[in-house]
A and B are shown apart, each in its own frame.
Chain A
Amino acid sequence: MTAPLLSVRNLSTRFRTERGTVRAVDGVSFDVAAGETLAIVGESGSGKSVTALSILRLIPDPPGKIEEGEILFEGRDLLKLDDAGIRAIRGDRIAMIFQEPMSSLNPALTVGMQVGEPINLHRKTVWAKALDKAAELLGKVRIPDGRSRLSSYPHQYSGGMRQRVMIAMALACQPQLIIADEPTTALDVTVQAQILALLKELTREANSAMILITHDLGVVARYADRVVVMYGGRIVETAPARQLYKTPRHPYTRGLMASVPRLDGDTDRPLVPIEGQPPDLATLPPGCAFAPRCKEAADRCRSERPPLVESAPNHFSACFFHDRLAS
């Protein structure tokens, strides 16, 4: 087996707040192979964005800090690079697409300049050439009339169009890895599907790997090769997408599935939301973080934290009862 493109090892990111230290990401490890799409799912506040931002060292410090771990990208630890080193990776080898298309583009700069900027920066291309490339990229993300759009500003675009611009920007330097943090959450349902399909198509075409962050398991089934399920800043289950979908081995994953409509399944099945609130990361209980909301929870779950174990080949679960859940 060849080494993965990205290998996150035991990543822990904390925030110091008035309420105490928030362990937003706590001992997270996963791999992304070249060309593969890895989905990270979980409820709001489970640490998905913090994981993504940690990879590019974009955590605002203070209050945040990457306390420990390794982020090996093409064999190099990104956490050990100097300032210039990490800047050379950002936007060039690893690009990021953010959740909020309305606020993630600079209102005072033209679209052409913003899309062409990574090319000008990393390829040292003169602006005229970078803008040519930007026009081409806008065409790729199906913004009609790319050339004349170069001099327009973000406020002249709809949310979906802006997200296309973000995608064009991310693709500019043909990165090996694109991190898309809930790229469609802020968009209309009809636009969501278009954007995701476009993203998938373009990453496949460029042979880029993708980390797709979402809380929509329907999206996962369709676009991801593998899935990481996060809860309370930790990974609770990870498996190939198909396998996870067929036999979830963690009660939280099951809960998530029951709470969204299945693409393939019976439409009569009632939707059951997970009861209770996501945990407060500043005051996590000693045992399993999901125990307070878990129907299967035993005494052991409340006192001892279940480790992430290989429950089936390539299928890891952090539940004491992973075997029972599968049967």
Chain B
Amino acid sequence: MQAYIVRRVLALIPTLFFASLIVFVTVRMIPGDVIDLMLSQNDIGASKMGREQLEKALGLDQPMWIQYGRWMGAILFHGDFGRSLWQNTPVNEQLLQRLPVTFELGLMALIVGLSVAIPIGVYSAIRQDTPGDYVARSFSILMLAVPSFWLGTMVMVFPSLWWGWSPPIQFVPFSRDPWGNLSQMIIPSIILGCALSAITMRLTRTMMLEVLRQDYIRTAWAKGLGEKLVVARHALRNALIPVVTLIGLQAPLLIGGAVIMEQIFVIPGMGLLLLDAVSQRDYPVITGVFLIVGVAVMCINLIVDLSYGLLDPKVRYR
């Protein structure tokens, strides 16, 4: 098991290397150069500097591969993601501030998503073709069809029109006011969680129906077990194995969704940071965010792979 984890982590290194290279090169290919932007905004004293001076000051005059080497070297040897081109603040500081917020949003959305998807998916399967099943399936299709950015916008707009109430947008960190923080995060989490739950719910239902047809379920009935135990003890675990895979595959979707929710609900997480950085072409910030997101997705997938072992005794980590 430990050897397996070590090997998996080592295998991440080349993947991360290529990912970082791609990110590094592509952000520099976004149309609109950061120097042009700076020169057009005279307020940072760029008027006094010429294009060459500015490039030199920001280190952008070097060939791309040297820039990459410096950037990677700083990360590897000093854990330093560089400085923001605009604010001249360390990127590390910004990442450290924003990461927990996005993590919280993602985790809450995941919890909401699973606690909606799995019970309803199971219910839908064991009461197949009843009105309850139809309602659950319709909800799932609705959630697939309705984009979460639209739903988020509606939640921002309509309650304030109807009742003069709108979700709080003055962000409070969890450490300062846990309750205020949670009540702010819960709405975007529910919207994002429901969007994620749609596919999970359908898969849970399909897998559950499949498992309930198996011979060992007939064996369980033949022992005299009631429906609750047949479902919870004998069926659920087998049905959830593919569902766990799906959760892993949805990790990028979850992060993408979090970016959108942060934008709509003005939550200062990685998503908002990224959007600002992209519009300003703040390369070190963009690459830093992407690298962290990449590591996060890979970690989620590692956790998913490890959790198979809990569900499926046939899985051996070698």
Identify the A interface with B (CB < 8 A): 56, 58, 83, 87-92, 95-96, 98, 100, 103-110, 117-118, 121-122, 153, 155, 166, 169
Known contacts A58-B221, A90-B222, A155-B313; decide if A100 and B215 are in contact (CB<8 Å): yes
Tell me the minimal C-beta distance from A50 to chain B in angstroms. 13
B220 contacts partner chain A, Cβ-Cβ < 8 Å: yes
Query: What CA separation (Å) do A104 and B218 show in the bound complex?
Result: 8
Q: Which of B225-251 contact A (CB under 8 A)?
A: 225-226, 229, 233-234, 237-238
Residues of B within 8 A of A117 (CB): 223, 225
Q: List 25 A-B contacts (CB under 8 A).
A: A58-B222, A88-B224, A89-B224, A90-B221, A91-B224, A95-B222, A96-B219, A98-B222, A103-B214, A103-B215, A104-B215, A104-B219, A105-B219, A106-B219, A106-B234, A107-B312, A107-B314, A109-B234, A109-B237, A110-B313, A117-B223, A117-B225, A121-B223, A155-B314, A166-B219
Query: What CA separation (Å) do A104 and B254 show in the bound complex?
Result: 38
Q: Taking CB as reference atom, which chain A residue is nearest B229?
A: A121
Tell me the minimal C-beta distance from B237 to chain A in angstroms. 4
For the complex of A and B, list the 4 residue pairs with the smallest distance between their C-beta atoms, beginning with the closest.
A91-B223, A90-B224, A91-B224, A103-B215
B223→A169 contact, CB < 8 A: yes
Query: What CA separation (Å) do A108 and B236 show in the bound complex?
Result: 10
B219→A107 contact, CB < 8 A: no
A108→B238 contact, CB < 8 A: yes
A118→B224 contact, CB < 8 A: yes
A87→B219 contact, CB < 8 A: no
A106→B220 contact, CB < 8 A: yes
Residues of A within 8 A of B234 (CB): 106, 109
Residues of A within 8 A of B221 (CB): 58, 90
Most buried by A among B214, B220, B222: B222
**Other contacts beyond A107-B216, A169-B223: 8, CB < 8 A:** A83-B226, A90-B222, A95-B222, A95-B223, A98-B215, A98-B222, A106-B238, A108-B313
Q: Which of B173-219 contact A (CB under 8 A)?
A: 214-216, 218-219
Tell me the minimal C-beta distance from A154 to chain B in angstroms. 9
Residues of A within 8 A of B312 (CB): 107-108
Query: What CA separation (Å) do A167 and B109 show in the bound complex?
Result: 47
Query: What CA separation (Å) do A152 and B4 show in the bound complex?
Result: 22
Residues of B within 8 A of A98 (CB): 215, 218-219, 222
B311 contacts partner chain A, Cβ-Cβ < 8 Å: yes
A105→B216 contact, CB < 8 A: yes
A122→B313 contact, CB < 8 A: no
Tell me the minimal C-beta distance from A187 to chain B in angstroms. 15
Name the interface size band of chain B: 20 to 34
Query: What CA separation (Å) do A103 and B238 show in the bound complex?
Result: 13
Tell me the minimal C-beta distance from A39 to chain B in angstroms. 20
Residues of B within 8 A of A92 (CB): 224
Residues of B within 8 A of A166 (CB): 219
Known contacts A98-B218, A103-B215; decide if A87 and B224 are in contact (CB<8 Å): yes
Q: Taking CB as reference atom, which chain A residue is nearest B217?
A: A106
Q: Mark B253-282, 1 if CB is under 8 A from A, else 0.
A: 000000000000000000000000000000
Most buried by B among A88, A92, A117, A166: A117
Residues of B within 8 A of A107 (CB): 216, 238, 312-314
A121→B225 contact, CB < 8 A: yes
Tell me the minimal C-beta distance from B166 to chain A in angstroms. 47
Tell me the minimal C-beta distance from A166 to chain B in angstroms. 8
Q: Mark B283-318, 1 if CB is under 8 A from A, else 0.
A: 000000000000000000000000000011110000
Tell me the minimal C-beta distance from A192 to chain B in angstroms. 19
B218→A153 contact, CB < 8 A: no
Tell me the minimal C-beta distance from B25 to chain A in angstroms. 46
Residues of B within 8 A of A118 (CB): 223-224
Q: Taking CB as reference atom, which chain B residue is nearest A113?
A: B233
Residues of A within 8 A of B238 (CB): 106-108
Tell me the minimal C-beta distance from B264 to chain A in angstroms. 41
Known contacts A106-B238, A153-B313; decide if A58 and B218 are in contact (CB<8 Å): yes
Tell me the minimal C-beta distance from A105 to chain B in angstroms. 6
Residues of B within 8 A of A88 (CB): 224
Residues of B within 8 A of A121 (CB): 223-225, 229
Which of A90, A108, A110 is close to B223, meaning CB atoms less than 8 Å apart? A90
Q: Taking CB as reference atom, which chain A residue is nearest B220?
A: A106
Tell me the minimal C-beta distance from B112 to chain A in angstroms. 26
